[in-house]
Structure 1
């Protein structure tokens, strides 16, 4: 048998104000927020600010001279432009973004890459480093050996170079910091939780490196020194394009698992991922002696 009991509500103090005063208070609160530059989550139908003082951007509309949110997301302001970045959406690329992707298809002189966007990205053969010199011309023999560089299922980190006429991304891996990914684990998070940082390559003191892709793909791997990718001619093709993982000791495996699980916990609470937050979370997990 279940018995339901109603609890007496504690006494409350109510303040009576007119609707005009309520709207004025709301506008003042949002004015303070917009000027402070802090992050605020909004929902569809919420009034953000006056349309007379600000311009509406993506994710908003105007009704009764008020800028109103049309999606659930984070309010952003650039000068007098108010936009709402949707909480759940596909990645919207920009030139210069660092992305982590997976090869889905090998085509003549190009690879198709899943970059968690609305359509696959394109990595041209002319946009990768090849053995024998970075700037040399791509020959027919290179096209015949494309699968020795990248094949279906390979993970890579690249930079958005430009856009094609249909809106798809054109990637490049002309830096030794870019290329095929090995010795790690992939974590997928909503792109909105990845903040734009000065560097998206993060090294933790536990011997683990992080690559925070702006498209929501995060690569967690063991620490790799930059000179390990350099050979006699400044480019070690075997180290860059090898598909075999190195031997990883048990402590490094545990550290990779710990960092990946920390990312999962932070994402479950919709906490934006930055280098500072990840470092603090890792130190806290060690202090609490949490199991990886």
Structure 2
């Protein structure tokens, strides 16, 4: 079956980065006035000029008590304890794995911070150290939680819960970490037939629906022989393209925004969602639905 080819002139191209007029959260540009009130303290990404607090980077305003800072849209991931991350094993070292988590330095997953096969609880032996590559090897994708942050900014991870561990069949999408909204849970079983792990580090994992009652979830089980039905693969591909559409318009990514984008994208085929006009249309309709909910 012949495929459609889309050709457009440069004058007809759409600037997707400014397609959505976001009201919440507001994106500040360098030099823009954040506040003129003097009781606020200056944080990262801000500077003071003529009694006004201004943004020095393009990003989202964050406020803790009287401290105001601006978190850049495009930056490396700065980890915090308790964050859920998705990463890729880059190296197997002595009693630890090196993990790429989109931060300035590689993160570390110690052998003592993973669940042994079968959930056995005991001290790690030399035999466990020799079998490390059988547990996790270079190229494997994992979900984990940030256990601690070292003085140089590197992260120490752990996978001591069954919801963490090696990831099996699915799709990895990379977005800006600032677009991931922090919430109580970053593991979502969407009602459309897929599961999403929204890593705080900007790595999003999309896979077939995870059965939380299955004791084999997490750890080192992959089930690569399992055949994923075509309908589920199409759902995963559509979710991926919807996330890319929201990312192009600098919209926050969380379960509701992804679900609304999926519903608004159903009028397009999966390949058509990669066309800039379709991406903008999906993002605009999603933003309108989110604003309607906020106004209710």
Instruction: Report the TM-score, using the length of structure 1 for normalisation.
Output: 0.80
SS of 1:280's partner is helix
Equivalent residue, structure 1, for 2:153: 167
What is the RMSD of the two structures over their aligned residues, measured on CA atoms?
Answer: 1.9
Say whether 1:290 aligns with 2:269: yes
CA contact (8 A) 1:44 1:70 kept: yes
Equivalent residue, structure 2, for 1:266: 246
| 1:151 maps to which of 137, 160, 181 | 137
Equivalent residue, structure 1, for 2:164: 178
Equivalent residue, structure 2, for 1:115: 101
Please list, as runs of the form range in 1=range in 2, the aligned pairs for 1:1-292 lying within 5 A after superposition: 38-50=24-36, 52-230=38-216, 240-242=220-222, 244-286=224-266, 288=267, 290-291=269-270
What is the distance in 1 between the residues matched to 2:167 and 2:262?
Answer: 23
- Between 1:219-228 and 1:128-137, the stretch displaced more is 128-137
Q: Deviations over 1:3-48 (max 9, x none)?
A: xxxxxxxxxxxxxxxxxxxxxxxxxxxxxxxxxx952111112222
Instruction: Report the TM-score, using the length of structure 2 for normalisation.
Output: 0.79
**Structure 1: which 5+ runs fail to align?**
1-36
**Structure 2: which 5+ runs fail to align?**
1-22, 272-296
SS of 2:162's partner is coil
Higher relative contact order (CA 8 A, sep 6+): 2
CA contact (8 A) 1:131 1:236 kept: no
The alpha-carbon distance between structure 1 residues 132 and 201, as it changes in their structure 2 partners (threshold 3 A), is closer
Shift of 1:132: 4.8
The structure with the larger Rg is 1
